[in-house]
Amino acid sequence: MSDHIRNTSPMLASLRCGAKTRSGDACRSPAVHGKQRCRMHGGAQGSGAPKANQNACKHGLFTGDAIAERRQIQALLCEARKLLEEMK
Ligand SMILES: [Zn+2]
């Protein structure tokens, strides 16, 4: 038998996927370079919907624009509340 020692520590130290699997545990596959998930969980090149994709849009409540608008309204309300507190 060969006495060659395999150096697998860089491989084992790589970022792991962590996606929730059907068994409920986290996926332990290595993440694709530059991505958070493995090739099976959305890390593959070219995966994911293109920007401004309307295929699954039903009401637009969770679009980036709608979320930003709600944040602005909340910030404005927060400022108004602070102003009202100061006026008391
Ligand atoms: Zn995975």
The one-digit pLDDT tens for each residue of the chain (88 residues) are 688 888 988 888 999 999 999 999 999 999 988 888 999 998 888 887 888 888 888 999 988 899 999 999 999 999 999 999 999 8
> Given the structure tokens 């530059």, which residue do they identify?
34
CA of 10 to the centre of ligand 1 (A): 19
CA of 60 to the centre of ligand 1 (A): 29
CA of 36 to the centre of ligand 1 (A): 9
| DSSP codes, the chain | ---PPP--HHHHTSPB---B-TTSSBP-SBPPTTSSS-TTTT-STT-SPPTT--TT-SS-TTSHHHHHHHHHHHHHHHHHHHHHHHH-
CA of 26 to the centre of ligand 1 (A): 8
Distance of alpha carbon 13 from alpha carbon 78, whole angstroms: 45
> Given the structure tokens 């994709």, which residue do they identify?
53
CA of 22 to the centre of ligand 1 (A): 11
pTM above 0.95, yes or no: no
Structure tokens at 25: 């545990």
